Amino acid sequence: MAKSKAPAQTFEEARYLRKLVSSKAPVRIRLLSGEEVEGYIEYWDQAFIRLTREPAAPNLFIFKHDIAWIAAEGE
């Protein structure tokens, strides 16, 4: 019996990001360079996310291919 292939896309990323945007949950993002940034995700699309940070820090547009992981604070 042949094994079935895993789906190419599960849409879990979109569901998770939608949850983070709607709740304005504080997140920590680690980039592939090792740098970590904190804030909340205000917007996202296929290529990037917009991270809104404290008033003194500039907001960032981060390409998804540069992200190692995203974690909501408290997870």
Q: pTM for the complete prediction?
A: 0.80
What's the pLDDT score for residue 28?
A: 95
For the chain, what's the residue count? 75
pLDDT-derived band at 1 (thresholds 50, 70, 90) equals low
Whether residue 18 lies inside any domain: the answer is: yes
| Average pLDDT over every residue of 61-72 | 95
Locate 26 and state its tokens. 């504080």
Which residue range is the domain that position 19 belongs to? 13-57+67-72
At 53, which CATH number? 2.30.30.100
Whether residue 6 lies inside any domain: the answer is: no
Please tell me the distance from the alpha carbon of residue 22 to that of residue 46, in angstroms, as a whole number.
18
Whether residue 3 lies inside any domain: the answer is: no
pLDDT tens digits along 2-32: 677 767 777 888 899 999 999 999 999 999 9
What's the pLDDT score for residue 5?
A: 77
Whether residue 33 lies inside any domain: the answer is: yes
Alpha-helical runs (H) found in the chain: 12-23
* Tally of domains in the chain: 1
Whether residue 5 lies inside any domain: the answer is: no
